Amino acid sequence: MDTATICVILSIAAGTILFLVQSGGRRRLPPWPYPFPIIGNMLQLGRYPHRYLADLSKTYGPMLSVKVGRDYLVVVSSPELARKLVTQHDQAISARSVPTSAKAWDHDKYAMGLLPVGSLWRKLRKITKNQLFLAIKLEGSQGLRQEKLRQLHKHLRDCCAAGRAVDIGEVVHTTVLNQMSETLFSRDFGDFGSDSIRRLKDIIEDVIQSYIRPNFADLFPFLKGIDLQGISRRAKLSAGRAFAILEDVIEMRLSSRSALGYIKKTDILQGLLDLMNDSENGLTMAEIKHLLLDLIIAGVDSTASTVNWATTELMLNPEKRAILKDELATVIGEKKQVLESDMLRLPYLQAVIKEVFRYHPTGPLLVPRKATEDIHFEGFVIPKNTRIAFNVWCTARDSTIWSNPDSFEPERFLGTDIDFIGTHFKLIPFGAGRRICPGITLASPMIPLLLAFLVHNFDWKLEVGEEVDVAEKLYLSLRKSVSFKIIPSFNSFQK
């Protein structure tokens, strides 16, 4: 046998062995549906990937794989498996897959939600958890958030007097945006329906769109330098407009701090600027700007979406709204303003919020993680760099976990210790482990406060011809696709 023949035989043998090894590795992944060449299961995921993946779990089980572009995504739909995976491998699955669009203005180098678990991430995490979002820090801005409710009260009273219908989604979004702005900056960005508030909403929406829009460059890395869809250009433009607004706000604060007679603010911007001179946790101006952008985008979108879904479900379930209204009248009193300190005395309100988190999770797949090493789990291997998602929407619809899962029933949470802070894996709308959303402390008081205000002060009636549509659309959060209009009327004791 000549040398050439031996080389050919060895090459074939080596190729066969490599193929078998790679095939075996793929077989050791959790089960998966047949992927199409090149694109994998990308088109099958469609506009509602959480629903498609929930259907797949009925066939392939509570942990499965799908191929997206050249990479695999492992999806966990069981709270027990999610708990095990986070408990046993939290550090190994704490990385993020960074979208190409997030690299505009180097946002990926500063955004806490995208950073790897390293020194900067730990510093930002410590600052947000231990300094900025402590209850004592937020108490200083409660009066400012109350002022936003008084403005909302006046706006709705004017609508009542004029018999004018109110787009509930628009009102909620504007109020949340201004409440968040007051908490961050001790100022708001505009009145209901004003041009300034519309411009800011458009800018935020543009940034979100550029981050979530499917990008071929993320699926096929060899396209990253081409920007075929123009998504990176759009991200740079929209994020640049957002940073320009933040820079103006910061510059105004820095100028006012040096003025005679300046009264120190109690907002989050004040805390961040104070940390610029901290020897241990010093922040740069770039870190402050990127952190503020993250807080605005994530906080406003998820909070407004949750309150919007809550108003929708209470409109569809008037008997639940009546129970909540009675609780508020009993605990708050007919003429008392709803305060953040009242929230713990309202168990049915808390149950409504938990049920909204279950039934309409803002992030149905949470923010996917990425494995930093090969992970051996439940008889499978999750290879390094594989993305991992937790399908909390699927968990919410599982009849083995919840009774009547397709019904809105806040009563299921009464008398239980189930919370949403990452300890009960049946309900983890903010995630769990070291990657739990740090803004949970910021959003938690705003959601029940705004919902309680709307229910306690007004009676709701649909505008003639209006219907309550429960269609959804997936953006940064799982939003309502279509808002609805109501004609508010004051409760008898509010007239």
Angle among Cα 386, 392, 393 to the nearest 5 degrees reads 120
Q: Tokens for 252?
A: 């105004």
Give the least confident one: 44-53, 234-243, 276-285: 276-285
Give the pLDDT band of residue 11 (cuts 50, 70, 90): very low
Is residue 418 scored above 90 in pLDDT? Answer: yes
Crossing angle of helices 195-212 and 231-257, in 10° steps, is 130
Angle among Cα 71, 77, 80 to the nearest 5 degrees reads 120
Report the alpha-carbon distance of residue 79 to residue 62 in Å, rounded. Answer: 9
Report the alpha-carbon distance of residue 1 to residue 334 in Å, rounded. Answer: 99
What are 285-313's pLDDT values in tens digits?
999 999 999 988 888 888 999 999 999 99
The pLDDT value given to residue 138:
61
Question: How many CB atoms are located within 10 Å of the residue 114 CB?
Answer: 21
Q: Tokens for 40?
A: 């994998």
Q: Is 4 exposed, middle or buried (0-12, 13-18, 19+ CB in 10 A)?
A: exposed
Question: What is the pTM for the complete model shown?
Answer: 0.89
CA dihedral 383, 388, 394, 396 (to 10 degrees): 130
- The whole-chain average pLDDT of the chain stands at 87
Report the alpha-carbon distance of residue 85 to residue 17 in Å, rounded. Answer: 32
- On whether the CB atoms of residues 469 and 325 are closer than 8 A, the answer is no
CA dihedral sign, ordered 343, 344, 346, 350: positive
3-state class (DSSP) for residue 74 = strand
Domain extents in the chain: 31-494
Give how far Cα 250 sits from Cα of 84, 185, 244, 246, 325, Å: 43, 9, 10, 6, 41
Identity of the highest mean pLDDT range in 12-16, 181-185, 453-457, 481-485: 453-457
What are 13-28's pLDDT values in tens digits?
444 343 334 444 445 8
Which among 69, 42, 45 has a CA at the least distance from the CA of 391?
A: 45
What are 339-374's pLDDT values in tens digits?
888 988 999 999 999 999 999 999 999 999 999 999
The pLDDT value given to residue 491:
66
Report the alpha-carbon distance of residue 254 to residue 245 in Å, rounded. Answer: 14
Question: How many CB atoms are located within 10 Å of the residue 139 CB?
Answer: 13
Which among 92, 126, 12, 82 has a CA at the least distance from the CA of 365?
A: 82
What are 188-228's pLDDT values in tens digits?
777 776 777 778 888 888 888 888 888 888 888 788 888 88
- As a whole number, mean pLDDT of residues 387-399 equals 96
Report the alpha-carbon distance of residue 371 to residue 397 in Å, rounded. Answer: 27
Report the alpha-carbon distance of residue 311 to residue 325 in Å, rounded. Answer: 13
Report the alpha-carbon distance of residue 493 to residue 413 in Å, rounded. Answer: 30
The pLDDT value given to residue 223:
83
Beta-carbon contacts of 201 under 8 Å, excluding residues fewer than 6 positions away, are 173, 177
The pLDDT value given to residue 134:
64
Considering the chain, what percentage of its residues have pLDDT values greater than 70? 91
Is residue 244 scored above 60 in pLDDT? Answer: yes
Is residue 39 scored above 90 in pLDDT? Answer: no
Is residue 334 scored above 80 in pLDDT? Answer: no
Tell me which fold the domain 31-494 belongs to: Cytochrome p450 (1.10.630)
Give the pLDDT band of residue 240 (cuts 50, 70, 90): very high
Is residue 2 scored above 70 in pLDDT? Answer: no
DSSP lists the bridge partners of residue 459 as 489
Give the pLDDT band of residue 1 (cuts 50, 70, 90): low
Q: Is 124 exposed, middle or buried (0-12, 13-18, 19+ CB in 10 A)?
A: buried
